[in-house]
Structure 1
């Protein structure tokens, strides 16, 4: 299914929602808030849910499965293409969530818990932007350099395991490269986990606010 078809499908479902539940989506008489506020709630929920789902899949499922079943260099090259798109999605969704939540809960009139929640969302946005703009480009650049060195040493095509540490014992260049890559990749992973953790904290707030 192409992008146009996917977009059309999403718009069709939104139109169906407006048709069958206009008060819920557009805000009607007897419901709290104007249509703009309802639209802001919808934008916040959809953006948060997208970021939460993407973070859960990439961090705890997709990456592990790919690492287990793909040749290591192929896995790294795929991550190098996927991560910029992933952090772009996470940053956009986080920015929309921050803007929508800040609109719905102005700082001066917000409760303490609402101010904390805005802080969590801003933290998630900051961590995702740091990965998008700083850590991911550095990690990819270092990874490509390490791939080239590993190919020269005849390793990198193994699946699920690595000969890197064994070869690094006799190759000072590879050992130095591993240290640099490990530091940068560690910072990137930490920022990703912190962003996911901030979204997790916000999920508790949303669950407590739902009336099912």
Structure 2
């Protein structure tokens, strides 16, 4: 029996290979990836204002590697599944755009998992050691006792260097996360817009 293809702009799915299961799986992957990005921001805000600085940093350094690798795995699976069901010779402009968006998401998530996030955690751990030696880090919330941290920066060149590096890598990592949120949002939008054509 020949394969019947359903043109679903986001999927050209073969009817004989469990199309509904594949669609459900992809929708779960895409929505999970997008939800994970948003939840991470909310959780960080809550933890950052309710835990001591070093407890928050310790939790981040332990959880973020898993979070970043999970994000890059979700992005990779999204791209792989999309590419499997979209032969390059049959791609429309819209589908080409979606492949590019998914590729950007995979690249950015991979960089964040392997480099920016990892270095951010390492710098934070080094800074915590210096802060502990000065009796700092037990204050609740990231914005409390700022004067003491400013003084430490002024008096300790190594801590000042770490602080500048942390700002750079943390901001870059946050930018990567934002890029993934936008890419996943665009991908979800195209999927949702084309669900009615199934």
**TM-score range for the pair, normalised by the shorter chain length:** 0.7 to 0.9
Report which of the two has the higher share of strand.
2
How many angstroms does 1:166 deviate by?
4.1
* Count, aligned residues: 181
Distance 1:100 1:94 in 2: 10
| Structure 2: runs of 5+ lacking an equivalent | 1-12
Distance 1:201 1:95 in 2: 16
**Residue deviations 1:4-59 (CA, integer Å, cap 9, x gap):** xxxxxxxxxxxxxxxxxxxxxxxxxxx97222444432332121111011111002
CA contact (8 A) 1:43 1:97 kept: no
How many angstroms does 1:76 deviate by?
0.6
How many angstroms does 1:169 deviate by?
2.9
- Equivalences for residues 105-116 of structure 1 within 5 A: 105-116=86-97
Distance 2:14 2:163 in 1: 56
CA contact (8 A) 1:40 1:104 kept: no
Distance 2:26 2:150 in 1: 45
Query: Hey, what does 1:33 align to over in structure 2?
Result: 15
Q: Secondary structure at the match of 2:155?
A: coil
- Equivalences for residues 79-118 of structure 1 within 5 A: 79-118=60-99
Query: Hey, what does 2:154 align to over in structure 1?
Result: 169
Give the TM-score normalised by structure 1: 0.79
CA contact (8 A) 1:150 1:156 kept: yes
Query: Hey, what does 2:9 align to over in structure 1?
Result: none
1:78 aligns with 2:78: no
How many angstroms does 1:173 deviate by?
2.6
Give the TM-score normalised by structure 2: 0.84
Q: Higher RCO, 1 or 2 (CA under 8 Å, sep at least 6)?
A: 2
CA contact (8 A) 1:37 1:104 kept: no
Distance 1:184 1:130 in 2: 12
Distance 2:109 2:97 in 1: 18
